Chains A and B, each alone.
Chain A
């Protein structure tokens, strides 16, 4: 569990993070999204004890990160966007070093190192010097380092930066399996598609302020209560679909292009069925008709204050 209680960071002339009150329950995958410079990295660096907050507290599983850092680090795995690794070490030595540095029981370290190397797919590089690894492999090694001590909380700051599509997909699968094992994950990104599918909650930060924080279902339901986005396609036969749609109560913002349309509909499921019936009644030969699933990006655009991405 991660708790931010009035967490705040100020520098001499600017406020990086305004007092932040967020609680992330165990097993949650929390996506911290926002434009560059929104305060995401500062928040994560405070959460893992790298930056001292100006005011407020961060608690990881009940332990204050800044009051008892060595104890708190037992439960924290941290990965930043751009980092280096020790080129003169071998892959297993690197992980062995961090396993000892996290004070894991000595008799379990060797097995855990092998296990993690397998999880990130670096088995063939087990005994290789790190300087011979590719950038993507080094990134995977970084991920292995972050999870070597089986942390209960993972703090990931733009972890997919510099990864190729295959490595991104592997990272995604790894995070999904960690989520299934009950690991709490706080992950920041400004590439929203990265967070699609495995975040259970999101927080939107802008100019150091958390403008929204909550579970994705709650946001979707909240949005659905006001309107939903519907996509329609039909066989082109000269009908004025746009006028037909606009005549139906609850339909708004109709955008048509060729034989496709997207529109907003505010109303019940029965009302939406009536829209389809009305189209058919006007002779529109409908090919497809359905609600568009909301992406994290849609949610961000709805909830943010339209800052530049």
Chain B
């Protein structure tokens, strides 16, 4: 690994972005804006007749730090989410891939090099904001922690941006995915304080920092429940961003130097690891005491809490099945090669084979984790838990069917097959719900229809006969898709025209 400061990729970006004229312009504008904000705040303070200088200095610090955070995070995320796809479009990426730089070296260079101007502007204005904070009476460690977290969040968002740009064909597509990502992130974080996953609010970082500035209250507590213990918010923030960042690094290191068509985000075992991580993380963030408090209205609060927790577990794993199925999907070429070379049943679990056996394995592991998690939940006796085997099996049949459908689509001549296949699946569910709603004669028929054609009713544990019929139909469709895939491979090979 080359020295960080001698990383050629980093130096290239510094040379491209930091030409003296550009640097002077950026420095002048950013420092001028900071000073103007300072002067404006001072004027407002005088006009309002406030004599407390510290208060307005604190406002200036918050204003500047907020501005720096917005600029650094959004600039980095936006530029990184276009970086690789831009290089591909320009046909310069192949030359990077044929150098001796390792994926780790390329990644390091891009991570800090692509948004280097944003780092420059932030570093330059840091002195002004830090001065305002210190003069305003904020503790030095709180100011340092603010910038430390700013760097951590920026790095994770830049990693997410690079992962997006590695996968999309066009740079503009990266921006769309980026906005969806930011929106989901802020919704999750802002909903957290009211829910049973209070630790989720640590995603927003600000709640983790507020107590350091002496602003802890009921809405923004200093500690949140994490794996049943009260843990400082900043620590949860670090764990969340650290682990998310680690998964993104795994995906990038695996795929950065690959052709776009050869990208498989995770290996099969990494997929299993991801499923275990998500289950444990959700369990760790669930505040059982808060859940029990929410269920006090019920006749048996513990039973109600157990049912709700089980429902949440089932929903989470439904999405995990899709996530594992998609991130470990074989490329058409590798799958075809596997199909020709496959020898026995064990080969179905090879890294190039179909991903559905691993989705089934994930389901089995999820159930084992459920047993562990239910035994570790304080306040809910073991007898209150019901094993969600039935629900998991029903959901699994739908997830496997959809994963097989996506795999089949990748074997056709469809362009951007995965994206289109996912769109078709969403369209299917939307169409089923709409058609059933249009022709429903009674609520029971509507519910049974949904139980057969969608996995919805598996979450509620009712209409088991209809759900069973639905599961059997999905298995039949899955077998048919398997046959179609088999037929496609058995077709005579076409020589290049």
Contacts and interface: CB of A to CB of B under 8 A. Distances in A.
The answer to whether A and B interact is yes
Interface in B1-47: 2, 6, 8-9, 11-12, 15-17, 19
Interface in A139-162: 145
Interface stretch (B154-162, B257-265, B394-402): B257-265
Contacts of A54: 333, 336-337
Nearest to A83: B91
A279 interface: no
B98 A73 contact: yes
A110 interface: no
Given A11-B333, A51-B259, A145-B95, A73 B495 contact: no
A47 to B, nearest CB: 10
B100 A103 contact: yes
B312 interface: no
Interface residues of A, number: 45
B194 interface: no
Nearest to B109: A101
Contact of B12 (A51, A71, A89, A102): A89
Given A15-B495, A55-B337, A101-B96, A93 B15 contact: yes
A76 B98 contact: yes
A48 B98 contact: yes
Nearest to B90: A84
B100 A10 contact: no
Given A50-B94, A52-B258, A97-B8, A102 B495 contact: no
B31 to A, nearest CB: 24
Given A37-B497, A69-B257, A10 B336 contact: yes
Contacts of B15: 88-90, 93, 97
Contacts of B100: 70-71, 73-74, 101-103
Given A50-B259, A54-B337, A78 B98 contact: yes
Contacts of B92: 83-86
Contact of A12 (B336, B495, B497): B336
Q: Which of A73, A86, A93 gathers the greatest number of chain B CB atoms within 10 Å?
A: A86
Q: Which of B16, B101, B495 gathers the greatest number of chain A CB atoms within 10 Å?
A: B495
B229 to A, nearest CB: 44
Given A12-B333, A37-B497, A86 B91 contact: no
A100 interface: yes
Interface string B304-343: 0000000000000000000000000000110011000000
Contact of B496 (A39, A51, A80, A90): A39
A16 interface: yes
Contacts of B497: 14, 37, 207
Contacts of B281: none
A98 interface: yes
A82 interface: yes
B97 A207 contact: no
Contacts of B410: 12
A253 B333 CA distance: 49
B411 interface: yes
Contact of A70 (B94, B102, B259): B102
A16 B491 CA distance: 16
B423 interface: no
Given A11-B333, A76-B98, A145-B95, A52 B262 contact: yes
Given A74-B100, A97-B8, A97-B12, A13 B95 contact: no
B332 A83 contact: no
A31 interface: no
Interface of B: 2, 6, 8-9, 11-12, 15-17, 19, 90-92, 94-102, 257-259, 262, 332-333, 336-337, 410-413, 488, 491, 493-497
26 contacts: A10-B336, A10-B493, A12-B333, A12-B336, A13-B494, A14-B495, A15-B493, A15-B496, A18-B495, A69-B257, A70-B100, A73-B98, A74-B100, A78-B95, A78-B98, A84-B91, A88-B19, A89-B16, A97-B8, A98-B8, A98-B95, A100-B6, A101-B9, A101-B99, A101-B101, A208-B496
Given A50-B97, A97-B12, A207-B495, 6 more contacts: A10-B337, A13-B413, A18-B495, A73-B100, A82-B91, A101-B96
**Closest 10 pairs between A and B when the two form their complex, measured CB to CB:** A101-B99, A100-B8, A12-B332, A88-B16, A84-B90, A101-B8, A83-B91, A208-B496, A97-B12, A73-B100
Interface of A: 10-16, 18, 37-39, 48-52, 54-55, 69-71, 73-74, 76, 78, 80, 82-86, 88-90, 93, 97-98, 100-103, 145, 207-209
